[in-house]
Amino acid sequence: MPRTKIVCTLGPASRHTFTLRTMIRAGMNVARINFSHGTHAEHRAIIHKLRRLSAEEENPIAILADLAGPKFRLGKVRPGEILREGKRVRIVSHSLIGTSDRLSLNRADLIPQLVKGHRLMIWDGKLQLEVVAPGKEEALCRIVVGGALKDNAGVNLPDTNLDIPSLTEKDLKDIAFGVKEGVDFFGLSFVRTKADVDLCRKEIAARQGSVPIIAKMEMREAVENLSEIIDAADGVMVARGDLGIEIPLERVPMVQKSMIAAANELGKPVITATEMLLSMVSSARPTRAEAGDVANAILDGTDAVMLSEETAMGRNPAAVIRTMVRIAEVTEEGMAQSGPRWVRRSDLRMHGLPHAIAHTAALLADELGAGIIICPTDSGDTPRRVALHRPRQKVLALSVSERTVRRLALSWGVIPWKIPRRLAPDRILGEFRKRIIEEKLAKPGDYAILTAGFPFGVKDAKGRLLQTEVL
């Protein structure tokens, strides 16, 4: 299996037990549940099914609960209505059946915030309006790019700094549900500033939760506030769909690279998402451009690549995963041939003993040609820090915490194992040597580097930062 992790969105094509099992066996590491669709009862059934299958397959699967966030949409429209370029259309705050002359928005509080010259991008940018006369209850717009209308089309406002809450009442209910069901990550949609992340964390804590937050970077303001958002969040998702509407499309590839690099600097997991193998919704093979897109995200340093419609609605979710696995494996082989991707510690915004230990472990493993790096861990921080340097060796994380094991399913290069009890570093290889060799993580006679810098609940580990043993 590749070291790059694979996130799969669940949907109508991937609800059944047989399909989910084949997806796990094909290489799914994280299951994304989109809270924009479905009921709590449906989500609960999927969560319980995933937990059962994960246990049966002895393969930790993390669950990413993706909060809907504030959605901006047109209301219903009369069938056959077409916007004509150069004409005018009024956007109003009250509900009505839309026509080519008058359309409604689902949120009345947006209308007063519209500014002359600002754009409204409708239906993923297929239609474009420009505000010519703003008002408190309606705004007159010029049609810049016309076309056919549809009910409930999404609306983006890329030029407008909106003053609206980042969490809706639905999101708060979904947070309470997710905390109760023990989801492993929350995806926070339409993040604009650090304050949005802080608010989400506060609401999680108010419901007795401590679930990590993946900030979805899909707004123009998020690009402008990139550093502070990554600082505040536990991980990020490069959500290229809305991002490609919020900023000029030609900027997206370089912004993607900047976001991945910024997350790498802080050792935060980063997911690259949207249309990675989209043609495989209906095709048995991806396009060459799609294969290159996946490979380039991996070369950029992403921890994970995400499938959306491909696994939610596609004709063969497991086949898509297997294709992504093959692309990732070949890309990683090329990376390994050029040596570890050493991240200079001076380039990282991380300092102190834990980071020095992780860096040294990766350096030592490379110098000795070690077969494996083993990291006992409670929180999961040490194996994540080691894997940041992209060592050739597999990084084996051993934890007594089921939650930590699942969360490490998102981190590049980390193989998480649940163990029944904490062990002194001297006893780890004796306990797991046979399994390590049987699972071909290393060979007999290979060096094993153990990060034993912290007691891991055992007193006799005190003062021992690293140790080397032979399998």
- Cα three-residue angle 392-236-250, rounded to 5 degrees: 95
CA distance linking residue 182 with residue 210, whole number of Å: 10
Is 200:188 a contact under the CB 8 Å cutoff?
yes
Residue 216 annotated as catalytic: yes
Is 241:229 a contact under the CB 8 Å cutoff?
no
Of 22, 274, 323, 382, which one is the catalytic site residue? 274
List residues bridging with 398 in a β-sheet: 376, 417
Residue 32 annotated as catalytic: yes
Three-state SS at 139: strand
Is 354:453 a contact under the CB 8 Å cutoff?
yes
CA distance linking residue 269 with residue 451, whole number of Å: 21
Residue 168 annotated as catalytic: no
Tell the residue number behind the tokens 């947070």, with chain if given.
175
CA distance linking residue 60 with residue 343, whole number of Å: 28
Of 5, 192, 216, 407, which one is the catalytic site residue? 216
Tell the residue number behind the tokens 């809305």, with chain if given.
242
Of 3, 5, 32, 406, which one is the catalytic site residue? 32
CA distance linking residue 183 with residue 161, whole number of Å: 31
- Cα three-residue angle 145-148-151, rounded to 5 degrees: 115
| Helices and strands: H and E segment counts in the chain | 15, 21
CA distance linking residue 191 with residue 196, whole number of Å: 6
Positions marked catalytic: 32, 73, 216, 274
